[in-house]
Amino acid sequence: MRERFSLYLDLIRWNRPQGWLLLLWPTLAALWLAAGGFPGWHLLAVFTGGTILMRSAGCAVNDIADREFDKHVKRTAERPITSGRLGVKEALVVAVVLALLAFALVLTTNALTIGMSFGALAIAVAYPYAKRVVAMPQAVLGLAFSFGIPMAYAAVRGHVPPEAWWLVAGNVAWVLAYDTEYAMVDRDDDLKIGIRTSAITLGRADVFGVAMFYMVSLLCWSQVGHMAGLAMPFWAGITMAAVQAVGHVWLIRGRDRESCFAAFRMNHWLGATWFAGVWAALPGGLTGSVGLM
């Protein structure tokens, strides 16, 4: 049982928290913005737990869908399903159980949030197959990674205002930036096996494309700050996030595999930085009473 449990943890990338952190920071930012401060322990627990559970389920679904492709990629050849240590049916059971646990959390919110969760699930399941037909499947991943934003607003306010969609647009652009960096690592292998990625589609414009994606994300988030009338701490967070983005573009300029992977792995710090700006600019942050106490 210990060995099986270890395989399950490997399947859901438990030892790589960067994945769920990339999902968590924009979701938390949406919660704080929707509530105008600390959203309460209930919603914080629902969206934190749901984010981790759905990312884990998504990893399992992705490995099931890509099991034949992963055999030909050095970085993924030893994944539990691809290596034959875990069966497809067993992995599917893991994914279903995790998704049901996430849905149980969503059931404690309101009808709009529950309804939106079905759309989130559909896009999460569709993403692994988008790599076969979409030139930039990272955009589909961006939508999957952004569904927590309108759901957060729906859970807090009962509707989704325009600023939420600016957050979504910024998050999709950010996902395109960091997942293109990730795709640059596997470009040679992906070309051989016929998978489509933004790194392949952009070709020699990949570094410029990543820079543009970062710029769009920061501009969209800045628009949210303007609409919400956020104070100076938010703009300090945006500025520090921009500095990190410039550093990432500089790091990938030579298209070295290790450098591209390092840039991707550091993106959760960029997300943490701009969430910190949101937190500090709202009541309960640096400009108000401490809402977490």
Report percent pLDDT > 90 for the chain.
66
Confidence category of residue 286, pLDDT binned at 50, 70, 90:
low
Q: Which residue has the higher pLDDT, 120 or 3?
A: 120
pLDDT at 17: 86
Is the backbone of residue 158 left (phi > 0), alpha (psi -120 to 50) or beta? left
Is the pLDDT at 82 greater than 70, yes or no? yes
Enumerate domains of the chain plus CATH numbers: 1-281 (1.10.357.140)
Phi, then psi, of 188 in degrees rounded to 5: -60, -45
By the 10 Å C-beta count (0-12 exposed, 13-18 middle, 19+ buried), 101 is classed as middle
Cβ neighbors of 5 (< 8 A, separation 6 or more) are: none
Q: Which residue has the higher pLDDT, 67 or 271?
A: 271
The arithmetic mean of pLDDT across residues 90-113, rounded, is 95
Least confident of 40-44, 83-87, 260-264: 83-87
User: What is the tally of helices (H) and strands (E) in the chain?
Assistant: 15, 0
CA 198 to CA 190: how far, in whole Å? 11
State the alpha helices, DSSP H only, in 147-205.
148-157, 162-185, 187-193, 198-202
Is the pLDDT at 291 greater than 50, yes or no? no
Burial 217-231 (b: 16+ CB within 10 A, else e): bbebbbbbbeebebb
Is the pLDDT at 275 greater than 60, yes or no? yes
Can you tell me which residue has the tokens 């389920």? 57
Q: Which residue has the higher pLDDT, 222 or 73?
A: 222
Cβ neighbors of 25 (< 8 A, separation 6 or more) are: 268, 271, 272, 274, 275
Q: Which residue has the higher pLDDT, 262 or 84?
A: 262
The arithmetic mean of pLDDT across residues 181-204, rounded, is 86
Handedness of CA 61, 62, 68, 71 (dihedral sign): negative
Mean pLDDT across the chain, nearest whole number?
Answer: 90
The arithmetic mean of pLDDT across residues 134-143, rounded, is 90
Kindly report whether the global pTM for this prediction surpasses the value 0.95.
no
Q: Which of 100, 92, 8, 88 is nearest to 54 (CA)?
A: 100
Is the pLDDT at 279 greater than 70, yes or no? yes
Q: Which of 255, 58, 29 is nearest to 143 (CA)?
A: 58
Is the pLDDT at 73 greater than 80, yes or no? no
pLDDT at 96: 94
Handedness of CA 236, 240, 243, 245 (dihedral sign): negative
Q: Which residue has the higher pLDDT, 86 or 287?
A: 86
